[in-house]
Structure 1
Amino acid sequence: MDFLQNYGFLLATLVQQALLGLSLYFPLLSGQLSLASPGFYALGGYVAAILLVNPAFAGLRDALGNWTFVLTWLVAGLICAVLGLLVGIPALRLRGIYLALATVAFVQILQYVALNLDVTGGAVGLFGIPQAFGFQDRWQYLLLFLPLLAVTLLFTRQLERSRTGRAFRAIRDDELAADAMGIPPTRYKVLAFVIGAVLAGIVGAMSAPFLNTWNARQGTFDASIAFLAYVLIGGSRNMWGPVLGGTLLAALPEVLRPLQDWRLVINGLVLVLASLYLPQGLVGLFTRRRAPSARPAKAEVAK
């Protein structure tokens, strides 16, 4: 129990970051470099914070009790799904770096909107968000994040084996060929984008009580780069890549904390080396199969 008391916040943060890495994995599954997840994460957190703090919803909180927290997850997921659909339909007609820039602009727009609204607390943000289900310790949020991670991994596994998952991979490998085969690229790319948006929004709604405060710093360009690093370092072609990358990269600053300022240098060095020498990510070290030995067969000599 002492271990959970001392490291519970860090453990819950590792699982949280793994989930956020997975939210970026779904668009990548269909070949889309989207950096919009921090925006949906911030939006989901604001939805939860407003429902849990704003006096206008006091009657709803009194009527629902702890079910209010479940309601925040559902509302955040629904709002992010609708916004993901509205943003995805025009944005996903872009490709590559142009799509990345468009989604970064989306994150910046949400951040500036949050900074200028009274309901979001402006630049100060929202404070005093009640702990979910009356939790007394931060490690108890593992009871929320871990089941969500398990459900997400199970969903991802079934999705990849389904017809939709095969369509995603076909679009990722060759969009023009997939279109010629009757697979509508825009429809499937928007679907992948919306799935990632919903996951990021739900994680944000769970994270607002976890952090006890919420402000515009939760969804920034820096967060977009961090989430992308989770996927690229862990591996973008396997669902375990974002989990491994998010866990390790979120833990690295804490592991290197005794080195003080040098930990930032080492953290950057790890990212550079992994990018250069692990093109398939860290997961590639475990999934790489040994190529069969190409020993030439002995020719039979006719006697």
Structure 2
Amino acid sequence: MGDFISTYGFLIVTMVQAGLLGLSLYFPLQAGQLSLATPGFYALGGYTAAILLTNPSFAGLRDTLGNGMFVLTWLVAAALSALLGLAVGIPALRLRGIYLALATIAFVEILRVLALNLTITGGAIGIFNVPQPFGFEDRGQFIWLFGPMLLLTLLFARQLERSRVGRALRAIREDELAADAMGVNPTRYKVLAFVIGAVLAGIVGAMSAPLLSSWNARQGTFDASIAVLAFVLIGGSRNVWGPVVGGALLTAVPELLRFLADWRLVINGLVLVVASLYLPQGIVGALERLRRPAPPQRPADLPRPEVKA
């Protein structure tokens, strides 16, 4: 068991991390909003943790709090992501469809350019030697952080779906005009879903900076936006397990096929193409259809008696 963890521990952690990032996109999609801002908030959280854990200005605070400093980075990252999510979400969520996607991609690029040009973020080089939390000696041990975070997020998502807020989000996703006519405030609920996704991405970023031991502008790019979107589309966007399954699959396939060298990327691309063509509702959606009982068949129409003249 120890050999398995040492060999595949980091892969398992990155699969869980990918599932969490997929869930951060899942929440805006619950309101029918295609937001690609997740890597931006992920990068913000990572920079927050890296700065607080390495900058000499916070050395006294680190000495005072000890391991509590890591928890503080999560809270600060969540607060900053929520504030920035509100600032971006209120104007951006007036857009719909591809226009919202373009606006959130622009947001990610703005943050990336700022990170490349600010001194506190380390510029193009980034921030190195981010300390490990709680005395972790192996990156596989981060499963004790990411695993409970995934379970809490899934529980929260389930409770949200069953609540009044969840019903309002589904109503907006199905027909925003009808939801507005029924007294649901679309803007308020869309911004709420956007902020929830932003907070989750920010916390995951703050947890990931110590995992990677460094942080730079490559963590929040347009490519990362497309990757997170693929997690949700392949896994399924209508079920909370969809982003988790999609993120785990698309993270594991290239690593497990590493012995095929560059061909592993070809196979990964084929998985994307096949899933997009034959699983339009994602893997989880296809499994749900298989489990769902077939609708009862209508009895064959009886022949009508002939009417003689």
Aligned length: 301
Structure 1 residue 286 displacement after superposition = 1.7
How far apart, in 2, do the equivalents of 1:298 and 1:96 lie? 45
Tell me what 1:276 maps to.
277
Quick check: 1:236 aligned with 2:237?
yes
How far apart, in 1, do the equivalents of 2:301 and 2:132 lie? 71
Tell me what 1:259 maps to.
260
Tell me what 2:182 maps to.
181
Tell me what 1:17 maps to.
18
Tell me what 1:169 maps to.
170
Structure 1 residue 290 displacement after superposition = 3.2
Structure 1 residue 265 displacement after superposition = 1.3
Query: Secondary structure of the equivalent of 1:282?
Result: helix
How far apart, in 2, do the equivalents of 1:285 and 1:181 lie? 32
Quick check: 1:96 aligned with 2:97?
yes
> Which 10-residue stretch deviates more, 262-271 or 138-147?
262-271
How far apart, in 2, do the equivalents of 1:190 and 1:292 lie? 38
Q: Deviations over 1:83-114 (max 9, x none)?
A: 00000000000000000000000000000000
Tell me what 1:152 maps to.
153
Amino acid at match of 1:237: R
Tell me what 1:296 maps to.
299
How far apart, in 2, do the equivalents of 1:25 and 1:38 lie? 14
Amino acid at match of 1:38: P
Tell me what 1:192 maps to.
193
How far apart, in 1, do the equivalents of 2:23 and 2:226 lie? 14
How far apart, in 2, do the equivalents of 1:150 and 1:261 lie? 34
Quick check: 1:58 aligned with 2:59?
yes
Structure 1 residue 291 displacement after superposition = 2.2
Structure 1 residue 297 displacement after superposition = 6.7
How far apart, in 2, do the equivalents of 1:117 and 1:98 lie? 29
Determine what percentage of the aligned residue pairs are the same residue.
75
Q: Deviations over 1:233-286 (max 9, x none)?
A: 000000000000000000010122111111111111110110111011000122
Amino acid at match of 1:12: V
How far apart, in 1, do the equivalents of 2:131 and 2:14 lie? 18
How far apart, in 1, do the equivalents of 2:270 and 2:201 lie? 28
Q: Deviations over 1:55-79 (max 9, x none)?
A: 0000000000000000000000000
Q: Deviations over 1:99-142 (max 9, x none)?
A: 00000000000000000001000000000000011101111100
Tell me what 2:70 maps to.
69
Amino acid at match of 2:293: R
How far apart, in 1, do the equivalents of 2:108 and 2:229 lie? 14
Structure 1 residue 37 displacement after superposition = 0.3
Quick check: 1:202 aligned with 2:203?
yes
How far apart, in 2, do the equivalents of 1:106 and 1:146 lie? 29
Tell me what 1:223 maps to.
224
Normalised by the size of structure 2, how large is the TM-score?
A: 0.95
Tell me what 1:41 maps to.
42
Q: Deviations over 1:188-229 (max 9, x none)?
A: 000000000000000000000000000000000000000000
Amino acid at match of 2:114: V
How far apart, in 1, do the equivalents of 2:26 and 2:217 lie? 24
Amino acid at match of 1:89: I
How far apart, in 2, do the equivalents of 1:146 and 1:285 lie? 26
Amino acid at match of 2:78: G
Structure 1 residue 293 displacement after superposition = 3.2
Tell me what 2:307 maps to.
none
Please say which structure displays the higher CA radius of gyration: 2
State the superposition RMSD in angstroms. Answer: 1.3
Counterparts of residues 75-114 of structure 1 (less than 5 Å): 75-114=76-115
How far apart, in 2, do the equivalents of 1:261 and 1:135 lie? 33
How far apart, in 2, do the equivalents of 1:11 and 1:267 lie? 18
How far apart, in 2, do the equivalents of 1:171 and 1:7 lie? 41
